[in-house]
Chain A
Amino acid sequence: MGQSSQEDIQKTYQQFASKDEPKRPVIMNCIKAFIIGGLICVIGQAIQNFYLYNFDFNEQTASDPTVATVILIAVLLTGFGVYDKFAQYAGAGTAVPVTGFANAMASAAIEHRTEGPVFGIGSNMFKLAGPVIVFGTTAAFIVALVKTIIIQLGG
């Protein structure tokens, strides 16, 4: 059997297999993500207001304790084994806010606890969150560069 006929067989099967493959319910997932993600933001806003009106914070400084509180809640829910079950339903709704980032780090840290604090937690904690930092920083740098050039050119 030649190389090309083997490829044909593979292609035929791939088409055949994808015909009945259950697809991700993308539209429903988007709606759920929109609602849950929005709810998380509403909770975040409530926490920010709490800090604004009860403590000596202004609009800008209040966001720091707010993010810290939201992260704390996400990490606790991860530890109690609730977050992943909720995320199966919410999808991007729980992944995109800062809660998703907190969950990525906490879950990896918990998972690799058995390999010790240094090689386990230390080196695996950023396993999932690391790429976000790397490409987030790179993207921010490029955007800043473009912005600077445009400003310089525009006078």
Chain B
Amino acid sequence: MLQGSQSWTFANSPVILSTGVVGGPFEAKGNLSRDFDHLFSDLWMSEASFEKAQTKLMEEAANASLAKINKKPEDMQFVLAGDLINQITATSFACRTLSIPYIGLFGACSTSMEGLALASFIVDNNGGNYVLTGTASHNAAVEKQFRYPTEYGAQKPPTAQWTATASGAAVVGKTGNGPMVTSATIGKVVDMGLKDPFNMGGAMAPAAADTIEAHFTDFNRDPSYYDYIVTGDLGSVGHPLMKELLQQRGVQVTDEQCIDCGLLIYNEDQKVQAGASGSGCSAAVVYGHLLNRMKKKEINKMLVVATGALLSPLSYQQKESIPCIAHAVSIERGDWE
């Protein structure tokens, strides 16, 4: 049901029945290694190319989420997924294996919440009983497309972010035991004219602030409603900017309340400049770490705001600025046991 100008309330409270989270060898050394269902020890993942490895990430995450609730791909009515690689081939190839009616999404790194919002909308409106959603990113495959070759010795500036090798998938169902998806706010494309592809956090912060402000306006809600406002992934440059923008606009969020997936996944010793990025990062952190914390009753309500930079290497070379987007989804523990 439409709420305010750009939000949905899910009156029937669709439930996240199960999630699957996989990562790569670099993520295995990070802070959240215990929250992954499977960690690959090799970046190639026994595949012939990094693109194929990304497909495998998506498949493994989807299969892990299905296995936990003893479901098969044919039990799913739809799958909504996407990634960062050209024409989202890695996701489409994974969905060829899964053979579930498929809707491909592109929202760059916002795909995780774009997918969860749409999956919940479908389930809430009786469009399906079970809908699978997810996204994956592979460091080498994504950097190959957007930046330099993996082994090229270019010095990265301190504002750069590291594409996570990770995937997260979730099964959204009508009823059952799990955290509820209660509402979602779909973001507008926001472009503040920034052009530096090595400062995505700075470019995406206004989009995140815009969507968060819209969410609280649409629901006439106070930010204190949520234990956490989770962004993914603004990094150490974009995250403080977003908090300041919200303060300027009169959205009173506290420092403890705001966390960022790009700052959670790795530890201090992993030199990733401003933090992590990639569509798989927010999916893995939310579906893994944060839902685990919710299960332990450490979190009751969180607003997850996934942010995406909608650029391509071509648009950047043609000196276009970086348009950005953010989608917010509210996840509540309810009486999940």
Contact = CB atoms under 8 A, between A and B. Distances in A.
Interface of A: 7, 9-11, 13-14, 16-17, 20-25, 29, 78-79, 81, 83-84, 86-88, 90-92, 94-95, 100, 103-104, 106-108, 110-112, 114, 127-128
Given A14-B193, A21-B202, A110 B271 contact: no
Secondary structure call for the B interface: loop
B206 interface: yes
Interface of B: 48-51, 144, 148-159, 191-194, 199, 202, 205-206, 237, 240-241, 244, 271, 274
Contacts of B153: 78, 83-84, 86-88, 90, 94-95, 100, 103, 107
A122 to B, nearest CB: 15
A103 B155 CA distance: 13
Nearest to B321: A10
Given A79-B151, A111-B149, 16 more contacts: A13-B193, A14-B193, A14-B194, A22-B159, A22-B274, A23-B158, A88-B271, A90-B153, A91-B155, A107-B148, A108-B149, A110-B149, A110-B151, A114-B48, A114-B49, A114-B50
B192 A84 contact: no
Contacts of B50: 114
A94 B202 CA distance: 29
Given A83-B151, A87-B153, A94-B153, A21 B159 contact: yes
A84 B194 contact: no
Contacts of B191: 10
A17 B148 contact: no
B192 A104 contact: no
A149 to B, nearest CB: 35
Nearest to B206: A13
Contact of B193 (A10, A22, A79, A90): A10
Contact of B158 (A22, A78, A90, A95): A22
A13 B209 CA distance: 12
B319 to A, nearest CB: 15
B263 to A, nearest CB: 14
Given A86-B153, A87-B155, A111 B192 contact: no
Contacts, number: 94
A17 B240 contact: no
A14 B244 CA distance: 14
B156 A111 contact: no
A29 B155 contact: yes
A23 to B, nearest CB: 8
Contacts of A22: 157-159, 237, 274
Contacts of B156: 88
B193 A84 contact: no
A25 B156 CA distance: 11
B164 to A, nearest CB: 18
B240 A128 contact: no
B49, B51, B154: most-surrounded residue (chain A CB, <10 A)? B154
Find the residue from A21, A90, A127 having the highest chain B CB count within 10 A: A21
21 contacts: A10-B191, A10-B193, A13-B192, A14-B193, A21-B199, A22-B158, A22-B274, A24-B157, A83-B153, A87-B154, A88-B155, A88-B156, A90-B153, A90-B155, A92-B155, A103-B151, A106-B151, A107-B149, A107-B150, A111-B144, A111-B150
B151 A21 contact: no
Nearest to B140: A111
A108 B159 contact: no
B159 A107 contact: no
Contacts of B150: 84, 107, 110-111
A20 B199 CA distance: 12
A23 B274 CA distance: 12
B193 to A, nearest CB: 4
Contacts of A14: 192-194
A31 to B, nearest CB: 14
A155 B66 CA distance: 85
Residue picked from A9, A106, A107, A112, most chain B C-beta under 10 Å: A107
Nearest to B47: A114
B2 to A, nearest CB: 24
Instruction: Please indicate which of the listed interface residues A17, A79, A107 has the most CB atoms of chain B within 10 Å of its own CB.
Output: A17
Nearest to A88: B155
